[in-house]
Amino acid sequence: MDKPPFVTTPLLSGVRHGFLGRQGGVSGGIYASLNVGLGSADDPAAVAENRWRAVQAVAPGAVLASLHQIHSVTVVTVDAAVADADRPHADALVTCTPDVALGILTADCAPVLLADIGAGVIGAAHSGWKGALGDIAGATVDAMTALGARREAIVAAIGPCIARASYEVDAGFRDRFICDDAAHDGYFTPGRPGRFQFDIEGFVAMRLANAGVRRIAALGLDTYADEARWFSYRRTTHRGETDYGRQLSVIAL
């Protein structure tokens, strides 16, 4: 069995990490092939195999802790594996325990992996637009500092997510952000009449910087545009498909 491919960044080279895509799994059809989404209608046995393959590719021997993601700003601290049936309702995890792989599922939202390598503290966050607006990134940094991380020592990487060119929104969507802070207008580019293109990756990077993170890698990988590599909720919606796969981002000490 070949290992599923994954993307890494030199910024996180001191910890095991990877942004996995849709390749290297056992699922078929619209889920082909490394679908890790427990909430999908895929064969549960295939999803379980895919999740195991993904974690072992990035962090052999580690145990997975993942979430029932709800587009919140809730962060949980974990120190052991989390059974699939017991996943907390939250959108970020932090730990200082070796061999616990923090896993975030996405299919256009931004996965964020964070580490203070010297302190031995890591984090992983799921940032859709609601989490980005509420500042799940900043909440994750706060939770890491509670475990002994130093803001100025934390490094972060923003993985594959929908890019500005693919992320069309309406004026009401944009207004939510501008009502929060007029400066947020800079993350929206006018498109078709009454429409705008939203830069969620840039917005999340700004949130991280405002939380005190000095070194941030934005990988610039568009989930919507690259069907061969990534699952995309928006692409599935535009096609009228009944469901969609999810990819996993993993970090472990």
What confidence tier does 195 reach under pLDDT thresholds 50, 70, 90? very high
**Alpha-carbon gap, residue 248 to 230, rounded angstroms:** 10
What is the identity of the amino acid at 73? Answer: V
Please write the tens of the pLDDT for every residue from 53-84.
999 999 999 999 999 999 999 999 999 999 99
**Alpha-carbon gap, residue 199 to 189, rounded angstroms:** 8
Tokens 């970090």, located at residue? 251
Please write the tens of the pLDDT for every residue from 25-51.
999 999 999 999 999 999 999 999 999
Q: Chain-wide mean pLDDT for the chain? A: 97
- Nearest CA-CA partner of 84 in 103, 70, 98: 103
Give the residue-averaged pLDDT of 70-99: 97
Q: How far is CA 145 from CA 43, 96, 153, 168, in A?
A: 39, 11, 10, 35
Burial of 21: CB neighbours in 10 Å, binned 0-12, 13-18, 19+: buried
What is the identity of the amino acid at 97? Answer: T
- Nearest CA-CA partner of 92 in 107, 109, 113: 113
User: Superfamily for 6-163+199-248?
Assistant: CNF1/YfiH-like putative cysteine hydrolases (3.60.140.10)
Q: Phi first, then psi: give them for residue 36, nearest 5 degrees.
A: -110, 15
Residue 196, pLDDT > 80, answer yes
Q: How many CA atoms lie within 13 A of 139 on its CB side?
A: 19
Helix (H, G, I), strand (E, B), or coil: what is residue 249?
strand
Identify whether the C-beta of residue 124 lies closer than 8 Å to the C-beta of residue 114: yes
Give the residue-averaged pLDDT of 178-190: 98
**Domain spans of the chain, in order of start:** 6-163+199-248
Please write the tens of the pLDDT for every residue from 128-172.
999 999 999 999 999 999 999 999 999 999 999 999 999 999 999
What confidence tier does 2 reach under pLDDT thresholds 50, 70, 90? confident
Question: Sign of dihedral through CA atoms 93, 106, 103, 20?
Answer: negative
